[in-house]
Amino acid sequence: MSLLETINFPADLKPLNRTDLKTLAGELRDFVIDSVSKTGGHLASNLGVVELTVALHHVFDTPEDRIVWDVGHQTYVHKILTGRRERMATLRQTDGLSGFPKREESEYDAFVAGHSSTSISAALGMAVAAKLKGEERRVVAVIGDGAMSAGMAFEALNNAGAMDANLLVILNDNDMSISNNVGALNAYLTRLMSGRLYNNLRSKGERLLSTLPPIHELARRAEEHIKGMVTPSTLFEEFGFNYLGPIDGHDLDALIPTLANIRQLRGPQFLHVITQKGRGYNPAEANPCLYHGVGKFKIEVGVEAKTGNKPTYTEVFSQWLADMGEADERLVGITPAMCEGSGLNAFAERFPRRYFDVGIAEQHALTFAAGLACEGRKPVVAIYSTFLQRAYDQLIHDVALQKLPVMLAIDRAGLVGADGPTHAGAFDLSFLRCVPNMLLATPSDEDECRRLLSTAYHHDGPSAVRYPRGIGTGAPLSPGLETLPVGRGILRREGRGIAILAFGSLTAPALAAAETLDATVADMRFVKPLDRDLVRHLAESHERLVTVEENVVMGGAGAAVAEALADLGLARPLLHLGLPDRFVEHGDPAVLLARCGLDAAGLERAIRAFQARSLVD
């Protein structure tokens, strides 16, 4: 029996010595590689936090002590150590374990973290709540270096440093190799500065010198300079934290005593650890970006190149962006830390001076784009639907209010499968169509996506094209940069009695359902401006209307059709089909769509039931 097989909960780690803990870390690393190779998931980030996770659960008394992970895709080892090892085969699968922390899943998951840069705010809230209740628990926020680029993290640091809450922020710095100062001397100094003796002397010295302000200020500056000689920055000290580190995040002999010392300290503490993404698996170490999120793979081979001729929607956008960038030198490509995921690689390579990765800073991305647009540039912001939600005020106030030609290429619209509700693009049609001056397009296939991207790009004002994850119908792509008439849909099928108004990705299943129903299908293309002439024509020539969209029903494209019918004075039985009023869990996308009744069979059932009700009425 392996050592890992004897570990079911963090309490089982307490009696282990350092040698056993190091053995356990090796077994955990092998288990993660084997598990993710069979399920897919986030690999590189999890291999980078093995020792850190072991040390945290060894030192802190979880779940009484809280650990808030930021972002949540680095929690696989945490899940394994907190009673879920046997269920890792279900990770990200339908009805299986979530790929992110989930409060409903385990008492050890203190906070849901699918979006980044939230941990310090949440952990501070927990620490303040503990203080208000008179509880002695400790709260730890583990935040990655990428997540530290967001303004929210610094807002939380600024607030936390002014409070006397017992909060530990651990910066998991994995964007660099372990530097020279992360060695024996630095580890020793960090342990020394985190120890009781040093901190008791520090506190007593502060009280004594506070009666002599000039000398106190001199001592404070001297301490900063001395620490600055062996640490990379005093920035976090300025926020009011006691900064410690950096130390090697893979060295349990440094991590465990340092964390044990910090656990005894009061007030806001900041520990800087250096880790390596992909640690322990050579292909992931060599290319951590490729192994950030992977499908199933053979361990001995690694991730293999994509096969198949159909381009994904992201690849369609990628090619379009490079082509349009060639045609128009005003085009500027912007991404909030999702270059590969959003398909900006080709553009970045061809036009490096016009490519900007602003980090995990969606709010900044939109206002930065607005500033570029003010000066005659044509910014294209490639962003996931779920992350656009974080920049809603900037979209309204800084872009739409000024009618600036900022184009949003919205990826991952609709359900996203294994990543679940934290990453689903379920709301963008609802929150975008109510914004004045917006153009909002929903392509039904790959070729229409390319042409609508060109259409939106040439729009004199803010615009958005939203498209799903993965491949579409396989429609052949137009070679040029043709546009489509703004606000005009097209009939895809002529039928009788009932008309289906389809928006975007669900046009294909709507067409399949229409074959058995003998229904008319309109590919509406635009949610805003809506093709009111086509809506009028369909309402006047059909007895019943159905709207179909991969967006929540409330406030979505169907609601736009209902508003148009009311405005036109046309009363027709109208059925809205879309995502339900709940968060759809993770799983196989086809299964999830079927469960929501949005596959061809589900659409047919719903429409037949609608017809039957209409006949009874």
Question: Distance (Å, rounded) from C-alpha 417 to C-alpha 414?
Answer: 9
* Residue 452 exposed, middle or buried by CB count within 10 Å (0-12, 13-18, 19+): buried
Q: What DSSP line would sit under 321-378, residue for residue?
A: HHHHHHH-TTEEEEESS-HHHHT-HHHHHH-GGGEEE--S-HHHHHHHHHHHHHTT-E
Q: Is the distance from CB of 273 to CB of 172 less than 8 angstroms?
A: yes
Question: Distance (Å, rounded) from C-alpha 374 to C-alpha 402?
Answer: 9
* Residue 492 exposed, middle or buried by CB count within 10 Å (0-12, 13-18, 19+): middle
Token code pair at residue 85: 């090892």
Q: Is the distance from CB of 227 to CB of 234 less than 8 angstroms?
A: yes
Specify the DSSP element, H or E, that contains 617: none
- Encoded amino acid at 189, one letter: L
**Cβ neighbours of residue 611 under 8 Å, at least 6 residues apart?**
497, 498, 544
Q: Is the distance from CB of 127 to CB of 166 less than 8 angstroms?
A: yes
For the chain, percent helix, then strand, then coil, each to nearest 5?
Answer: 50, 15, 35
Question: Distance (Å, rounded) from C-alpha 335 to C-alpha 372?
Answer: 14
Catalytic residues: 277, 362, 390
SS (H, E, C) 484-507: CCCCCCEEEECCCCEEEEEEHHHH
